[in-house]
Chain A
Amino acid sequence: MLGFAVRRLLTLVPLLLIVSLVFFLMLRLGRGDPALDYLRLSQLPPTDAAVALARQQLGLDQPLAAQYLNWLSGAVRLDLGRSWSTGRPVMEEVLHFLPASLQLAGAALLLVMLVGLPLGLLAALYRDRWPDHLTRAIAFLGVSLPNFWLGFLLVLLFSVQLGWLPAMGRDGPASIIMPAVATATMSGCVTLRLMRSSVLGVLGERHLVFARARGLPRRTILGRHVVLNAMIPPLTALGLHVGELLGGAMVVEMVFAWPGLGRYALLAITNRDFPVLQGFVLVMTLVFVLCNLVVDLAYAWVDPRIRFGTRAA
């Protein structure tokens, strides 16, 4: 398993290189001029001289290859350049905002697992009875609601009407509840449905009949033979949900004024702040790959066939 993890980590190097180059070109070859955005932010008239000066200050007057190599030589030394809109080092800003985003995505992931998986199991065990119908309705609603809209609805109810929770910011544990719920809902509902169908699939298998015949208690059958086997598809999907949760957190962070990386990146998109966007994509690629690696390791841990298969390979 260690060899598997090391091999996966080694593939990160070319992956990050390719991602950074493709994204660099996408930004540079797109329409518009960041120098104009810089002047707009400064509320300065975009005269020819001002645009030329801004381009020079932002390094946009250099050839593309030189711009990329400059950036890359910094990036390998963990220097992602300076933000064009704040003038601060990108790495410093990313490290400042990343924990809040990881906290939000982590809380959302926890919600997905703690709510989605048990409700999926419940729906399967009570197939075609009211718990199944209820969870189906919840899942249908949950996947249909855009997370930012759900966020505003939650704020209206719990902050404006009831006054229970703060509408925005990151002050204390109460402030993470609504952002985490808004972020987790869609992935949680998908997980719920996936778990339900997976459990139903396992429940139809013959080894359960033998388990019952061996007189195993219901709790053991459910825990060891149903839940553990049924967890494999939702667990695989969780790896994908990590990306969805981090992406979803971007919009939710804006709604709840959550000081995370998503809001930082959205502002950078608006301001065409290329160094920030390049740094953001690089860091998110890294986080995404690492999360998927963790999920794959967990997957191997749950399913011995994969563990043994890896060893054999």
Chain B
Amino acid sequence: METPLLRRSLLATATLAWMSQPVSRPHAATAAARSLTFSWPVNAGPLDPHGYSPNQMYAQSMLYEPLVRYVEGGGIQPALATTWRQEGRDWVFTLRQGVRFSDGTPFDAAAVVANIRAVLARRQNHAWLDLVAQIEDAEVVDAGTVRLRLAHAYYPALPELALIRPLRFASPAVLRPEGGVSAPVGTGPWVLAETVWGDRDVFTRNPLYWGEAPALERVVVKVVADANTRALALETGEIDLAYGTDQLDGDTFRRFATDPRFTTAISSPLATRMLAVNSGRSPTAELAVRQAIQHGVDRDALVRHVLLGAEPAAQTLFAPNFPYTDVGLPPFGFDRARAAALLEEAGWVRSGQRGGSRRKQGQELAFDLCFVGSDALQKALAEAIQGDLARIGMAVRLLGEDAATFYGRQRSGEFGMIFADTWGAPYDPHAFLGSMRQPAHADYQAQRGLPMKAEIDRRIGAVLVSTEEELRAAEYRWLLTTLHEQAVYLPVSFLTNKLVYRKGFGTVPFGDTRYEIPFAQMRRG
């Protein structure tokens, strides 16, 4: 009997000892290795610079570089091109010397032309981007110079060349004739070293990078789909950083902001969180109703109580830190009395009982507010807006539906109000305005009842190919002022990137656009 007893006791002791051992903490291990562990909901994908989903934009921007780089405020800086000039409708770029792809292939005019032609060969995939439609061809002038032939003198060519996709460059050796790449090979500061499907992607420094080498040696990106799991992993040190618009919910971000062990920061505005108001359907077809909505919603309270202060309140369609958007538009301001007066003047009067909705010629002042049912933040905002508008006599019906139905409503115009964020830098304002001419957009549907819709579309078309700076600025002023006065958008807040990392980790700057994460500029210690 003694042997089994002894064996059992030893087993129990060993188990207890194993249970009480702290597991190895990745945080400590990675700190020594000058590595950073980040998380993302899915794997990085095949990393085709000209492809969309499942390629993840943050990872595409780590490997592939543009000819020119967009910086906050709309400025353009050299990247793979050192200088550029416009010659009539064409753009001519002088390429950076001595740049090589991570497979050793030289980056030259032939490589640029091969990539641009690969994009043009599948033009229909990129129909959303005006620049691709404008480019007729790319030509080699000499090994270090390339010419882009455009159909028109398209002024936003430079910000659109700066986009993460599709106009970045993979080694011609990996471009496949049928589209896509056989391996992810770019000129950027990182290379993809390893992908473990469903678990992680590992990026390491590109030893052939032409610029300053990143301070970090490795970036490990773990696949974490759940925001709560991400928050807990940040606390345990299993990931070092949360970065993005919605990596953490507002409540969790606020908790980290008050936790002395962590550093948190909020970027400057990157896009606008807003609702489109339908001018093509009753009762929001009336200007007075749309303007009353603007006065009736307390944006500051929404920001304080629903967004928990993580985003600044927005009074205009675009933040003033975007090109051509600082035109000094007067905010509508929260003023219930003014909203009520506007409605009274327009003939919308309260029915008998106190607190009831208004009516005009038997019609109730009621409309649908549409949101994605599974989006808790949209739901909370929608409920708060419903409450605010009820106070001025509007009956708002909340329609929370699945994402596909929601986007179907944006396309068909079956909404009174609907959430529709702007695209953010570097798309705002030009590409976002350009999309307002497409009937498949919530913006088009929201504007279709405006008496000056045809004029708006004409001016948007003109501004995109205008070559005179002053004229362009004047056109933007007219467009933004008209849309503001017509109150077809209810801006709520400016979307920001938020970051959280453990104190003492080092330096973590913000990228210039919403989807770029500047790992190359991050450093430990």
Contacts and interface: CB of A to CB of B under 8 A. Distances in A.
A139 B225 CA distance: 31
Interface string A156-172: 10011011111111101
B407 A36 contact: yes
Contacts of A22: none
B468 to A, nearest CB: 28
Contacts of A37: 403-404
Interface in B35-53: 41-43, 45-46, 52-53
Contacts of B438: 45, 47
A267 B225 contact: yes
A245 interface: no
Given A97-B198, A164-B23, A255-B226, A46 B52 contact: no
A235 B401 CA distance: 42
Which bracket fits the contact residues of B?
35 or more
The dominant DSSP class at the B interface is loop
Contacts of A168: 222, 224, 229, 232-233, 238
Contacts of B402: 31-32
Given A32-B402, A259-B199, A155 B232 contact: yes
Given A156-B232, A160-B235, A263-B198, A174 B53 contact: no
Nearest to B54: A86
B236 interface: yes
A40 B438 CA distance: 16
Interface string B243-268: 00000000000000000000000000
B13 interface: no
Interface string A69-96: 0000000000000000111000001001
B22 interface: yes
Contacts of A31: 401-402, 404-405
Interface string A161-187: 011111111101010000000000000
A266 B41 CA distance: 12
Interface stretch (B80-88, B124-132, B142-150, B314-322): B124-132
A5 to B, nearest CB: 33
The number of chain A residues touching the other chain, given as a range, is: 35 or more
Contacts of B401: 31
B21 interface: yes
Given A40-B403, A254-B225, A159 B232 contact: yes
A28 to B, nearest CB: 13
B232 A165 contact: no
A171 to B, nearest CB: 8
A160 B232 contact: yes
Contact of B21 (A51, A53, A164): A164
A51 B440 contact: yes
B478 interface: no
Contacts of B407: 33, 36, 40, 46
With most chain B CB atoms within 10 A of its CB, the pick from A37, A87, A93, A257 is A257
B25 A163 contact: yes
A45 B198 contact: no
A26 to B, nearest CB: 14
Nearest to B515: A43
A267 B236 CA distance: 25
A259 B223 contact: yes
A176 to B, nearest CB: 12
A40 B225 CA distance: 17
Contacts of B238: 166-169
Interface in A5-52: 31-34, 36-38, 40-51
Interface string B109-138: 000000000000000110110000000000
B213 to A, nearest CB: 29
A159 B226 CA distance: 17
B224 A257 contact: yes
Contacts of B235: 159-160, 167
A264 interface: yes
B124 A42 contact: no
B506 interface: no
B128 A50 contact: yes
Contact of B440 (A41, A48, A169, A254): A48
A96 B236 CA distance: 28
B449 interface: no
A152 interface: yes
Contacts of A38: 53
Contact of B20 (A156, A164, A167, A264): A164
Contacts of A254: 225-226, 229
A93 B238 CA distance: 26
B404 A160 contact: no
5 interchain residue pairs of minimum CB distance? A32-B404, A42-B52, A259-B198, A41-B53, A42-B53
Given A32-B403, A33-B408, 14 more contacts: A31-B405, A37-B404, A43-B57, A45-B438, A49-B127, A51-B411, A152-B232, A155-B229, A160-B235, A163-B25, A166-B26, A168-B232, A257-B226, A259-B197
Interface of B: 19-23, 25-26, 41-43, 45-46, 52-54, 57, 124-125, 127-128, 197-199, 222-226, 228-229, 232-233, 235-236, 238, 401-405, 407-408, 410-411, 435, 438-441
17 contacts: A32-B402, A37-B403, A41-B53, A45-B441, A46-B411, A47-B438, A53-B125, A86-B54, A152-B228, A164-B22, A167-B236, A257-B223, A257-B229, A259-B197, A259-B198, A264-B198, A267-B41
